[in-house]
Amino acid sequence: MKNIYIIGVGLIGGSFALDIRQLYPNANIFGIDHSELNLTKASALGIINDVATVNDLSHADLVVVAIPVNVIVEQLPIILSNISDNTLVIDAGSTKEAICQAVKNHPRRRNFLATHPIAGTEFSGPSSAIHSLYKGQTNIICQVEETAFKLQEKALKLFDGMGMRIRYMKPKAHDQHIAYVSHLSHISSFMLGKTVIEKEKNERDIFDMAGSGFESTVRLAKSSPEMWTPIFRQNKINILKTLEEYIANLSQFKHHIENDDFDSIYQEMKSTNHIKEILKGIA
Amino acid sequence: MKNIYIIGVGLIGGSFALDIRQLYPNANIFGIDHSELNLTKASALGIINDVATVNDLSHADLVVVAIPVNVIVEQLPIILSNISDNTLVIDAGSTKEAICQAVKNHPRRRNFLATHPIAGTEFSGPSSAIHSLYKGQTNIICQVEETAFKLQEKALKLFDGMGMRIRYMKPKAHDQHIAYVSHLSHISSFMLGKTVIEKEKNERDIFDMAGSGFESTVRLAKSSPEMWTPIFRQNKINILKTLEEYIANLSQFKHHIENDDFDSIYQEMKSTNHIKEILKGIA
């Protein structure tokens, strides 16, 4: 792997670049981004060697597409039309159905591997890129059989070098499940932040009382609206279902409190404590 | 300070004991707990020197009451009836109105200082007690004027030694505000955990897809139901109000998605990003 193109040099793409540089010290890493500022920052930080455009992709051994999911759907066909026969293209989008659909009949479909490396922080931009962000994390690969065998192999070697755990899923199942374990968490966190900020407008001192518990639950409300709005749009149906269930559970909890049914409140929490064992499995 | 009694030798009381031992190396620290197992563990861990009962409190210079808030309301009058003139009693309850009300007319009211050190983890029991848990954290003191001047001074010296930031509030305001920045976070986290666990019953692999974002948002769902049920009961009115607002915000967000109003979704997240600046103030 000699010529690597990172499209979107933010947290996700930048962190890919840092790991790739460690694995392939002689690689030329090029950055493509609609933001000149991000490209300048990424160059200054040593994340990329040089800047490029989509027209340069015929030289690419690997293209990493790490841009908002609406732009992936729009740009991925164009990217595939610009590569060579031997180029591997991977994406890092948090949705998979619309992305796979967008290139379903593309003549270069077999150069593309649909992936979702489940890693990140609440920060964004090149300066938030970090080494080993993906180490030990799960990488969901969708429609692996649609990718050329040699390019599958190349991708798996890279992911192995980065220390990722691979799971294979269908795009539909990916989008359904990720709505629960990722998209819903973001909405619950954003709305928690909103509820408390609204209260704070009249009560300036309220945040002085916030401890690490609040900080942890509201952390995802720092996330980028540019990235998350298109995710919610593309995964609309699944997200509406999770939101419906979440609101129903909250309403039932509220109902128990209203009715002084604290035995049920206790039982709800006791059974949800099972999350301890589940989270041990994640860590 | 020579004789210290810790009532409830769990995370909160145990962590108090560890800090007190460092500040007052010659102190005798006694543990009182309804759980023999917790007392045995706390002794083995060197958190307490010996076990005691409420009848021994006449020897106490300081009593730290770190038990569930329903048991504080029940036991605090008995504790105050068992101390000497010079004993300082502090509590660590997450509600303040019911606790202050419970000892309002007690002849030893001036020996009691109502406090809420805003610190903790999602774990419980003596083995989760840690040094410096309270360092840099906020300690809310309520009705300070109801406490004898000399005992206020003693308490402030201790809190200063432990590195806590002091804030004075009325019990009513405390309970209102803490519902937003602590109690609501716990409910949002518990119900998020519940929603995902319910889904997981039929979909075993879902948690393999969970990353650090989910872990952070659901962390508080590990918390102790024994501790939290009485908090929700005592702060029922305020919690119902926060839950109503939270559910309304979630429903509105859902409504925007249903209506494909992604401009509003973007704006909601953009304005809630303000939480970044607020959290900087906390850290």
Tell whether A39 and A163 lie within a shared domain.
Answer: yes
Tell whether A156 and A38 lie within a shared domain.
Answer: yes
Mean pLDDT of chain A: 95
Tell whether B122 and B194 lie within a shared domain.
Answer: no
Q: Residue B80 sits in a domain of what CATH number?
A: 3.40.50.720
Question: For position B278, what pLDDT does the model report?
Answer: 82
Tell whether A72 and A204 lie within a shared domain.
Answer: no
> Distance between CA atoms of A96 and A107, rounded to whole angstroms?
19
Residue with tokens 């009451």: B65
Question: For position A201, what pLDDT does the model report?
Answer: 77
Q: Tens of pLDDT along B102-144?
A: 999 999 999 999 999 999 888 899 999 999 999 999 999 999 9
Tell whether B127 and B232 lie within a shared domain.
Answer: no
Question: For position A128, what pLDDT does the model report?
Answer: 96
Q: Are A217 and B185 an interchain contact pair (Cβ–Cβ within 8 Å)?
A: yes
Q: How confident is the model at residue A282 (pLDDT cuts 50, 70, 90)?
A: low
Tell whether A202 and A251 lie within a shared domain.
Answer: yes
**Does A212 have pLDDT greater than 70?**
yes
Q: How far is B81 from chain A (nearest CA, A)?
A: 30
Tell whether B49 and B160 lie within a shared domain.
Answer: yes
B129 interfacial to chain A (CB closer than 8 Å) = no
B268 interfacial to chain A (CB closer than 8 Å) = yes
Residue with the bigger pLDDT between A202 and B275: it is B275
DSSP per position, chain B: --EEEEES-SHHHHHHHHHHHHH-TT-EEEEE-S-HHHHHHHHHTTS-SEE--GGGGGG-SEEEE-S-HHHHHHHHHHHHHHS-TT-EEEE--S--HHHHHHTTT-TTGGGEEEEEE----S--SGGG--TTTTTT-EEEEE-GGGS-HHHHHHHHHHHHHTTPEEEEE-HHHHHHHHIIIIIHHHHHHHHHHHHHHHHHTT-TTGGGG--HHHHHHHGGGGS-HHHHHHHHHHTHHHHHHHHHHHHHHHHHHHHHHHTT-HHHHHHHHHHHTTHHHHHHHH-
Its domain, for residue A151, covers: 3-171
Tell whether A162 and A30 lie within a shared domain.
Answer: yes
Number of domains composing chain A: 2
Tell whether B32 and B164 lie within a shared domain.
Answer: yes
Q: How far is B136 from chain A (nearest CA, A)?
A: 10
Dihedral of CA atoms A183, A187, A193, A194 in degrees, nearest 10, equals 150
Q: Tens of pLDDT along B257-271?
A: 999 999 999 999 999
Inter-residue contact A87 to A61 (CB < 8 Å): yes
Q: Where among A171, A189, A218 does a domain terminate?
A: A171
- Up-side HSE of residue A182: CA atoms within 13 Å toward CB? 27
**Does A119 have pLDDT greater than 60?**
yes
Tell whether A137 and A80 lie within a shared domain.
Answer: yes
Low-confidence ranges of chain B (pLDDT < 70): 202-204, 281-283
B258 interfacial to chain A (CB closer than 8 Å) = yes
Question: For position A202, what pLDDT does the model report?
Answer: 67
No. of helices (H) and no. of strands (E), chain A? 12, 8
Tell whether A179 and A164 lie within a shared domain.
Answer: no
Tell whether B158 and B255 lie within a shared domain.
Answer: no
> Distance between CA atoms of B103 and B107, rounded to whole angstroms?
9
Q: Where among B123, B149, B170 does a domain terminate?
A: B170
Contacts of A140 in chain B (CB under 8 A): 209
Q: Residue B184 sits in a domain of what CATH number?
A: 1.10.3660.10
Instruction: State the DSSP H helix or E strand holding residue A7, giving kind and residue range, or none if neither.
Output: strand A3-7
Q: Where among A117, A148, A171 does a domain terminate?
A: A171
